Amino acid sequence: MEDLRKPILPGKGASDYERYLRTDDLLSLQKRPEEFLHPDELTFQVVHQASELLMKGTAWELDRARVHIADGDFSNAARLLRRGNYMLEYPISVLHVLETITPVDYQLIRAGLGHGSGLDSPGFLALLHIGPRLGEAFHGQLLKAGLSVDDLYRRHQEFFGLHDVAERLLDFDERVHLFRFHHLKLAQRIIGGGVVGTMGTPVEVLHQRMEHLFYKELWDVRNRITAQANEAMQKSGVGPQY
C-alpha cells in the first residue's frame, strides 16, 4: 500500500506540504535571532512580509477582475473583486500589531532599515497601478451601455451586474483609504507626526496622500442622489429627514 506520508512532489522539505508551500524558503526569509537589532524585529519583518504577500494576491485577483469587466462578465468580476477586497482586510488589520512596538524600541529597528521605505512597497505600488486600470475598464462598459454614473445608480436594478461592480470598486477604494488612514496613525504613534521618514519624506505627506481616491465619481454620485432627494422633499414637504 502507498505510504501517504511520503512526499511525491519535487523540491525541498520532508513533506509535500513543505514542498508545495516552499516553507523552507519562506521561513528563512527573516533575520535570524542573532541578527536582530531588537527582539521585536521578527514581528516587524513578518508583518511587512505578510502584507506584501497579501497585497500581491489582491493585485492579482483585481487584475483578473479587470479582464472580466472588459469582457462584460460582471458576475465573475464582482466575485474576484470581493475576494481581493477580503484579502486587503489583513494588511489593514495587521498594522495594529505594530502599534505594540514602543517608540523607543522602534528606533533600534529603524537604525537597520537603511533608506528602506514603504513608498517602494511592491505590493502597494501594484495596487496603485491596478486601481486606475480597473476604473478604465468600468468606464469602458458605461460608455458601451450609453450610461452616465448617475444613470447607473438611478437604474441600478436594470443594470444590477455593472452596479455591483461599481460598489465593489468603491469597497476597494475605501480599503486603500483605510490602509492609508491606519498606517498614518501607526506612523504618528511610533515615530510622530512632525518628523521625516527613512527616505526623507515628512510624515505629513502620508496625510496628503490620504486625499487620493481612485473613483471620486463613485463617491460624488451619492451627493447628487441626496441633493436630488432633498430637493424633491422640499417641493413635496414629505419624506425621510436623515
- Which residue from 57, 118, 161, 193 is in contact with ligand HEM, where contact means CB under 6 A? 118
199: CB partners within 8 A, 6+ apart: 115, 117, 119
- Which residue from 92, 180, 215, 221 is in contact with ligand HEM, where contact means CB under 6 A? 180
Q: Is the dihedral of CA 196, 199, 200, 202 positive or negative?
A: negative
> Shortest distance, CB of residue 218 to ligand HEM, whole angstroms?
20
Q: Are the CB atoms for 141 and 162 separated by under 8 Å?
A: yes
Residue 156 engages ligand HEM in binding (rule: CB under 6 A): no
**Number of residues in contact with ligand HEM, rule: CB under 6 A?**
25
Computed on alpha carbons and rounded to an integer, the radius of gyration of the chain in Å comes to 23
Residue 106 engages ligand HEM in binding (rule: CB under 6 A): yes
Cβ-based nearer residue to ligand HEM, 56 or 82: 56
Q: Are the CB atoms for 43 and 101 separated by under 8 Å?
A: yes
CA–CA distances in Å: residue 19 to residues 8, 12, 32, 88, 107 = 9, 6, 22, 27, 37
| x/- letters, 189..228, toward ligand HEM (CB under 6 A) | -xx-----xxx-x-x--x--x-------------------
Residue nearest to ligand HEM (CB): 118
Q: Are the CB atoms for 209 and 124 separated by under 8 Å?
A: no
Cβ-based nearer residue to ligand HEM, 47 or 213: 47
- Cell (9 digits) for 198: 527613512
Cβ-based nearer residue to ligand HEM, 109 or 137: 109
Residue 108 engages ligand HEM in binding (rule: CB under 6 A): no
Cβ-based nearer residue to ligand HEM, 125 or 145: 125
Residue 119 engages ligand HEM in binding (rule: CB under 6 A): yes
Residue list 5-64, contact with ligand HEM (CB under 6 A)? 47-48, 51
> Shortest distance, CB of residue 90 to ligand HEM, whole angstroms?
11
User: Which of 175, 173, 102 is CA-nearest to residue 131?
Assistant: 173
User: Which of 95, 111, 118 is CA-nearest to residue 38?
Assistant: 111
> Shortest distance, CB of residue 71 to ligand HEM, whole angstroms?
31
Cβ-based nearer residue to ligand HEM, 119 or 145: 119
Half-sphere exposure of 50 (CA within 13 A, CB side): 17
117: CB partners within 8 A, 6+ apart: 197, 198, 199, 201
Question: For binding to ligand HEM (CB under 6 A), which residues are involved?
Answer: 47-48, 51, 91, 95, 98, 106, 117-119, 121, 124, 180, 183, 186-187, 190-191, 197-199, 201, 203, 206, 209
